[in-house]
Structure 1
């Protein structure tokens, strides 16, 4: 055999099949059993506890006063969030302005409204007439063109909207600012090269891309706002918690009426959570995050991670 000839191929060696042994997570099983046992104890205690008076809960769940308070809560939530979102966008644009006066004014607003408790702001708005008996428009140190009696102009409803909406605008401003800054600077430079002005660039290019970052925390802020409306009890505006308090102060059924209010809050937050999921899914189309969170309602509702998706966003609640 000449040296140039290749050696014959070796016979293949039969490899032993791999025996894959799955890892047994005994700790998970133990934790699961413990959680199920504790859940059973809690559910059984809640169902069988006569002090909770479930028949009374059923009697007042759809009471006219409860439903009227629920309606006022929803109205406060919707209008306050509209004020907060619109004000937050304006404040975010001002905060990012190269004009130091505009940016500084927005920064002071955010500092003031985020730095003081919301319940304090509600009380201040409600009793603004003690500091300013009349509110009007005119020339400083000159004539006043039109004025109104403060106590007539600012009712409990108006004070609630001002307190909730203006406070929310400060938080939304930071959310919108973070969303705008998440867009690559090259987008702004490309728009400028095409001759687009700042307003058109913001409306057509920056904000649509920033929505993917803005939407999740905005949804959380809306859910938080729904629960925060209960603070208007401090100024006596009739909403869900005030309705429950009014009833149990008359019939002394405190625990059942609190359960009624809690059940309605849970129902409304669950609905808002599902709406938030759909909005997020719409703005996440075409991205890996959008595919990962598809049909992951349990991750949103329960706050756990399932598969490759995870529940998102955090808020001030």
Structure 2
């Protein structure tokens, strides 16, 4: 099966790319992956996506974007891309349940998966008191006590941001020393709303009989005693893992695995392969910025296909 373009992933970036490609009559194939709709499908209410003054549920927003892409002719298939051959055009992709498909161009929008603690009470309360995104969910904890788990720059940044809403923010870290840069540590320590629970290992997200998050059970590594830190929300800030393993090292990435794109574009090191969304963005990680790069990827892809139809491929490869 040959396609002009294939989009891998269906978060805000992939779906926006699909909308633009479909409107350009390129009839993209969109491969959904194991989490159709991306991380927003695990979010309850989204209040910071433009155009929805009353907010919108994350799954509903993703469903609307998918329907919009389908309306213009995008084709959706369930399955995981397990292997790719990007050494020459047409590019070859192996997809579970489909076999091998080929494409003249590929847009990678597989996102980045938040790292979790793997403790009881965590996964079942994601979106209901447990979060991995302060800018997404901080507003819902106005006037409440919050916990941030982590010791790096991201944790310090999330904790500082959450003090805009919370009565207090307690940083929980399993070691006495933090991994965060000195400037980020100093900024957090100078904030009167931030409290510290260092050298403590998270054990369990605690809920009441109604299933409402009440706090975090931790092990005090100094005293070897278990403690419960009371809080209405637990924000896990221990990093993200970009979903790039299936690429087999054929695309240039940074030291953390994020795809490297040419500045100001979505172009990767391989002509005809583009990347958008959180798989190449370790800084902003917002639905609206992901959607913006999805638009960029579609436009970059469309121009590439126009150019390659009038130029010899070997010349494009060497340009």
Higher-helix-fraction structure: 1
Provide the TM-score with structure 2 as the length reference: 0.20
Provide the TM-score with structure 1 as the length reference: 0.20
